[in-house]
Amino acid sequence: MRLAWKLWLENEGKVFGPGPAKLLESVSDSGSLRKAAAELDMSYSKAYWTLRAMEEGLGFALLTRTVGGPSGGGSTLTPEARDLLTRFRAFETEAEISLGTLFAKHFG
């Protein structure tokens, strides 16, 4: 028997979780929301509206659009988005350790 768990953040509805974290990481890697969406097998419009809903719930912007330039423009994470992502991943990592320890205590 093994433990499964999920955690996410809410603020009058879900605002952030593993899916959005993956999407932001993919934007950060590829420099493009369109590429990030494709990589995660999401439609661009779903990725776009997911981000918009998150920004609404969080109260700050997650992406900055860069227009033109040698790479033809794209998206980068705002400092607030980077901060949220870093906190969320650190929180998840420590939660995993902590829940694993408690699981072993009660079910080991």
Binding site for its own copies (CB under 8 A): 1-11, 14-15, 58, 87-88, 90-91, 94-95, 98-99, 102-103, 105-107
> Is the CB of 52 or the CB of 65 nearer to its own copies?
52
Cα-Cα-Cα-Cα dihedral sign, residues 42, 43, 46, 52? positive
- The nearest distance, CB 35 to its own copies, in angstroms, is 29
- The nearest distance, CB 76 to its own copies, in angstroms, is 23
Instruction: Single out the residue of 30, 32, 53, 56 nearest to residue 44, CA to CA.
Output: 32
Residues facing residue 63 across a β-bridge: 77
> Is the CB of 3 or the CB of 64 nearer to its own copies?
3
Count, residues in the chain: 108
